[in-house]
Homo-oligomer: A and B are copies of this chain.
Amino acid sequence: MTISEQSRGNHRPVASVDTPFLALDPERMERNIARLEARLRALGVALRPHMKTHKSVEIGRRMSRGIGPVTVSTLREAEEFADAGFRDVVYAVGIAPSKLDRVAALRRRGVDLAIILDSVAQARAVADASRRSGDRIPALIEIDADGHRAGLTPDDPEILAVARALVEGGAELRGVLVHAGESYGCTTPDELAAAAENERAAVVGAAERLRAEGYPSPVVSVASTPTAHFARNLDGVTEVRAGVHVFHDLVMAGIGVCTLDDIAISVVATVIGHRPEKGWIITDAGWMAMSRDRGTASQAVDQGYGVVTAMDGTPYEDLVVVRTSQEHGTMAIRPGGDAPLPDLPVGTRVRVLPNHACATTAQHERYQVFPTGSEAIVAEWEIFRGW
């Protein structure tokens, strides 16, 4: 079903929706999805798109071309996508033993839900739950490539102890998984390619160690939008998890993964006041609409709470949201910028491109779907939340 088929008769004017609201450009989104698919086809690796960025069944169907394999960050996401017919799901946050009953319940519904872990304590809990439910719960061992967060380093003897606890305890060892979060700090294609290679080598090395000891590792999973776009070789990897590429954002633009014209979501705001003596233009999109995420603060170019464009997508030179309250955004020329403050009277609508697509999306109930520059909404898609 295409977007226009699904939404026939639903062409509300963009101007009729009160601000602030979350706009999604479906053409940019489709382009972003297709670009990553083409890259992974060339590398010969499957995609397991991440649902955490958008939390929308409609977008999940587009990213996975139907009801294909997906990655989730919460059991709530797993349940929502299960309800929508998805059957191949990896829950990619280290399992808390208390959540295994919900995992088992989803598996009884026919969902091939796999979990991840990095300790013998978790492996024993998964083995216990497998025996209790009479179902070998599949688990991936989380590998740490760069000291970013969770996981076992590839040379940690604990990997084999975890594998043993799973297999001997009655669970399924499905493989290894890594998330190289430090790649978000890279700034050149060579750095990004090196981070991707480091990630690949770590997780493939862990898989080889398992196999050398007689354990299976059918799945070898790497992550992240930067890795997916900059890896030059993914030999030994079976799948890539990526999510933010569906929308992109200012952090991805700062890393060099995309340009501003690729960013598919924006917050539409209305000018509600001026402080000419301070060089401020005030809007009704504060942090409640943008999120408090300031991911570009540590990049070469700090974009404040967001880059401001006209409704047709053209950026106002050097205009960013420099501060926010809950329901106020203060726009100004960026520090060091020398463009004149544009003339935007009370009532003018603007778009704000976000630092971090996942964080901004989470602030909203729904997407208003329309191509940038269009005045007609073609669809409205719900965003769920919770755990």
Contacts and interface: CB of A to CB of B under 8 A. Distances in A.
Interface string A155-196: 000000000000000000000000001000000000000000
Contact of A359 (B15, B278, B292): B292
Given A278-B147, A292-B292, A293-B292, A326 B73 contact: yes
A201 interface: no
A-B complex: 9 closest residue pairs judged by Cβ atoms: A292-B292, A94-B272, A96-B270, A121-B346, A73-B327, A365-B386, A292-B293, A93-B327, A150-B273
A97 interface: yes
A142 B17 CA distance: 26
A147 B149 CA distance: 41
18 contacts: A18-B387, A19-B98, A93-B272, A93-B328, A94-B282, A95-B272, A96-B284, A98-B270, A119-B273, A121-B345, A125-B347, A149-B282, A149-B330, A150-B328, A287-B293, A287-B359, A326-B358, A326-B359
A277 to B, nearest CB: 9
A65 interface: no
Interface residues of A, number: 59
Interface of A: 15, 18-21, 52, 73-75, 93-99, 102, 118-119, 121-122, 125, 147, 149-150, 181, 270-275, 278, 282, 284, 287-289, 291-294, 325-328, 330, 345-347, 358-359, 362-365, 385-387
A19 B272 contact: no
A97 B284 CA distance: 12
A271 B118 CA distance: 12
Nearest to A356: B292
Given A119-B346, A292-B294, A359-B287, A96 B278 contact: no
Contacts of A288: 73-74, 362
Contacts of A326: 52, 73, 358-359
A379 to B, nearest CB: 18
Contacts of A362: 288, 363
Contacts of A147: 278
Contacts of A121: 345-347
Contacts of A327: 52, 73-74, 93
